[in-house]
Chains A and B, each alone.
Chain A
Amino acid sequence: MLNLACLVPIFPLIGSIINGFFGLRIGKNAVGMVACGSVALSFLTVLLMFASLLFTPAEERMFEQVLFTWMAAGDFSVDFGFQIDPLSMVMMLVVTGVGFLIHVYSIGYMHEEYSYYRYFAYLNLFMFSMLLLVMGNNFLVMFIGWEGVGVCSYFLIGYYFEKKSACDAGVKAFVVNRVGDFAFLLAIMYIFNIFGTIDFSDVMHMAPEKLIFGAEPVTIITLLLFIGATGKSAQIPLYTWLPDAMEGPTPVSALIHAATMVTAGVYMVVRCSVLFEMAPLIMLTVAFIGGATALMAATIGMTQYDIKRVLAYSTVSQIGYMFLACGVGAYTAAIFHLVTHAFFKACLFLGSGSVIHGIHGEQDMRKMGGLKEHQPITYITFLISTFAIAGIFPLSGFFSKDEILYHALMDGNIILWGMGATGALLTAFYMFRLVFMTFWGESRVDPHVHPHESPKVMTLPLMILAGLATVGGLLGIPLVHGWHALHNWLEPVLHFDLAATLEHSRHMLHAQGEHPASWAHLLIETEHNVWVEIALMLLSLGIAITGIVGAYFCYVKNPDLPGKFIKGQWGYELVKNKYGVDELYDATIVKPTVVGSFFLWKTADQKGIDGGVNAVANVIGWFSVQARVFQSGFVRNYALFMVMGFLVLLILMF
């Protein structure tokens, strides 16, 4: 059953080709059918594979399918193959499942669009690339998917290409992503240089033998990998593209910029967890970057008025949590949060899309309000997801976020926990600010617009996603040992023998005549402390409720309060302008690049290179003008020259 793997990405590819080439001809209904059908087929295939993986023993849940040798040059040989193991299975389920729901939703959301087929062709192409990314059995296949989702993201952000801001946002996303991609590519080259292969399973098996714990090579590799991850997953310092990416259609934001593509970085870090485990310095960096991003994005989220931008910053912040978890070695928690986040954030984005759809394209929260009467289904599902992201028991976000915070405190330190907890407080606050401003209170909607509930095809995915956001927490029941289903499921993939690795590294260092520092403290196992966990749960529940109550007071009870509070505060202005990071990048990177490029264009290229080329052309042109005399067009002239040449030859040869 597992060798159906190759079909999974093929379906969306076929769908994309059909829609892309024949989309205009076959009509809107057929386009929607093809797009959703192809993803549904993929999803069913994945379900079948999941079932068969479930019935294999835990140790054997690792299946590689090599389709063909992609390229072979000297020592370098890359297969085009898929790797199916519990980790990629989780990702495949999320990608195809959530992807399918969003495809269905898109049918309703995009129905008025003329280039409907283009949208679905891109969306299917995205599914194909994303599946390559998560299913690839080596770094290069993953990289193809990585680039593929990048380019689809570019296409879809710039979907409304008549709008300049959308084009700019697309370019920005693409260019910022390139920075990370370049680092990722360098990491792949370095890995090949050291291991002689770029196969995931080979690299992970060889890593403890070939690399020295905490030494330079592994540190550089993981640093480069992490820079790649920050680009794709919108972390500090490369997060600026994601809020701008909201220029795309809302379902795209839900699928690409919330549920799947932006979590690719997390997936990649977890996939290379063995390497990261061997670089403690980078682990710490990952944790702090994640924590800082979670906190910073949350503060920005509090000040935004565009409904989608709030959600975008929320996404950045939540992915920060995932990296925080990765950084402290809690990979299961990271994947757990990835899955639950995919559910509730997709639901939130689709809900916001439904709101925007219902009031005809308005995105400013100051012009919403009182929508819960008009859009009851959207409101209920949105509220459930908001509770989930805020971390209210027993919704899914509570479990996953709590697990991260627990590990941040136990395996990391109090600073990391503090960042996470503050972020959680802010998250609850700004998410409920969003809900209160959008659905509660007086209606500030343009009186000419009559808000209406969205059609079934849009509300149904919302309901399913809200349901998943509710029960998703059951994947990882805390406290009781052995009840954490996701942990048990991922255990074979994430297994890493630290003691043996340290022992081996010690031997290698001895062989080089060096004496390593003591690593004994690394081997101390932190006991699973149930009471601490319970205390933390209660604490974070309290934090979430505080945030919600705070938002209630500020935006429902006395709506004037925030206005008074923020008046004249330079701190507020700073946060509202997103800490000036965009301006900083503009001044330090973009401007010098533009100026330098102008110099190269105007002076170096137009004067230097073009001048040289034109000079050569002019000289040749002059000679051609001289030679034109011979080219008179009279046949007899040619005959004369021919005879003349013939005679010269004759005289010369005898």
Chain B
Amino acid sequence: MELLIFYPLAGFCVLMGLGVIISSSPINSALSLIAMMMGLAGVFVLQQAHFLAILQIIVYAGAIMVLFMFVIMLLNLKSAEEDTWSIRPQNTYVSVLTGFLALGALYKIACVISQAKLDSPAAVPDDFGTVVRVGTTLFTDFVLPFEVASILLLAAMVGAVVLAKNKID
């Protein structure tokens, strides 16, 4: 049953991901990304991580993507010019080499994953992924990282204001 939901969902996500990097208009890319985020929220729900699924929609699809759209509109970006896909000519050899390396790496990964015995999960309790459970972990074991994250966000906020406000000489 879960598999039946998973495959279409995963396929949708991959498709939308490809859409992000293929489409020539940034607006289309952004819309594809939003769709991919939604799909991923579904994947999270499938894994019973309800809290994170909600967060995914609120933070990513809601806040971050709005920011993207806002910047795209602000800069008034049209569809990309002549070639959206390109490699710098000077980089050809290195790119080819990287491609071969990527193939090798993929082969390795495939070997590792296929040999692994991974399908005997622990029993999942009922409260897995609920706000209570995640919140308890967050505010007991990870209080310090949580606070640090708040400082990071504050710093990012100030930085964004400073960067966007002043004309850099």
Contacts and interface: CB of A to CB of B under 8 A. Distances in A.
A–B proximity contact (CB within 8 A): yes
B91 A644 contact: no
Given A640-B98, A644-B98, A647-B102, A654 B91 contact: no
Interface residues of B, number: 14
Given A654-B108, A654-B112, A644 B101 contact: yes
Contacts, number: 33
A641 interface: yes
B88 A636 contact: yes
Given A632-B90, A636-B88, A637-B88, A643 B98 contact: yes
* Most chain B C-beta atoms within 10 Å of own C-beta, residue among A637, A643, A644: A644
A650 interface: yes
A651 B108 contact: yes
Interface string A518-529: 000000000000
A648 interface: yes
B161 interface: no
A651 B108 CA distance: 7
A634 B88 contact: yes
Interface in B75-99: 88, 90-91, 94-95, 97-98
Contacts of B95: 640
Contacts of A648: 101
Main secondary structure of the interface of A (DSSP, over half): helix
Contacts of A651: 101, 104-105, 108
A633 to B, nearest CB: 11
27 contacts: A632-B90, A636-B88, A636-B91, A637-B88, A640-B91, A640-B94, A640-B95, A640-B98, A641-B94, A644-B94, A644-B97, A644-B98, A647-B98, A647-B101, A647-B102, A647-B104, A647-B105, A648-B101, A650-B105, A650-B109, A651-B101, A651-B104, A651-B105, A651-B108, A654-B108, A654-B109, A654-B112
Interface string A620-654: 00000000000010101100110110011011001
A335 B57 CA distance: 97
Interface string A91-119: 00000000000000000000000000000
Contacts of A654: 108-109, 112
Contacts of A632: 90
Given A643-B98, A651-B105, 17 more contacts: A632-B90, A634-B88, A636-B88, A640-B94, A640-B95, A640-B98, A641-B94, A643-B102, A644-B94, A644-B98, A644-B101, A647-B98, A647-B101, A650-B105, A650-B108, A650-B109, A651-B108
Contacts of A640: 91, 94-95, 98
A476 B70 CA distance: 100
A644 B112 CA distance: 20
Interface of A: 632, 634, 636-637, 640-641, 643-644, 647-648, 650-651, 654
Please name the 3 residue pairs, one residue from A and one from B, whose CB atoms are nearest each other, closest first: A647-B101, A644-B98, A650-B105
A640 B86 CA distance: 13
Contacts of A647: 98, 101-102, 104-105
Contacts of A634: 88
A632 B104 CA distance: 27
Contacts of B94: 640-641, 644
A318 to B, nearest CB: 69
A650 B109 CA distance: 9
Nearest to B112: A654
Nearest to A630: B94
Contacts of B101: 644, 647-648, 651
Nearest to A632: B90
Interface of B: 88, 90-91, 94-95, 97-98, 101-102, 104-105, 108-109, 112
Nearest to B98: A644
A632 B88 CA distance: 11
Nearest to B95: A640
A637 B90 CA distance: 9
A70 to B, nearest CB: 47
* Most chain A C-beta atoms within 10 Å of own C-beta, residue among B95, B97, B105, B109: B105
Contacts of B90: 632
A641 B112 CA distance: 25
Nearest to B102: A647
Contacts of B104: 647, 651
B146 to A, nearest CB: 29
Contacts of B98: 640, 643-644, 647
A634 B90 CA distance: 11
Contacts of A644: 94, 97-98, 101
A647 B102 CA distance: 6
A584 to B, nearest CB: 66
Nearest to A644: B98
B83 to A, nearest CB: 14
A468 B98 CA distance: 96
Contacts of B91: 636-637, 640
Contacts of A641: 94
B113 to A, nearest CB: 11
A636 B112 CA distance: 30
A650 B101 CA distance: 10
A641 B95 CA distance: 9
A296 to B, nearest CB: 72
Contacts of A636: 88, 91
Contacts of B88: 634, 636-637
Contacts of B97: 644
A640 B101 CA distance: 12
Contacts of B112: 654
A640 B88 CA distance: 11
Contacts of A637: 88, 91
B18 to A, nearest CB: 18
A634 B95 CA distance: 14
A205 B94 CA distance: 83
A647 B99 CA distance: 10
A636 B85 CA distance: 13
A634 B88 CA distance: 9
Contacts of B105: 647, 650-651
A240 to B, nearest CB: 60
A647 B97 CA distance: 11
B85 to A, nearest CB: 12
A643 B105 CA distance: 11
Nearest to B107: A651
A654 B116 CA distance: 13
B102 to A, nearest CB: 6
B126 to A, nearest CB: 37
A637 B94 CA distance: 9
A91 B17 CA distance: 92
B89 to A, nearest CB: 12
A651 B101 CA distance: 8
B77 to A, nearest CB: 18
A645 to B, nearest CB: 10
A602 B102 CA distance: 59
Nearest to A648: B101
A648 B101 CA distance: 7
Contacts of A650: 105, 108-109
Nearest to B97: A644
Nearest to B100: A647
A111 B109 CA distance: 89
* Most chain B C-beta atoms within 10 Å of own C-beta, residue among A634, A636, A637, A651: A651
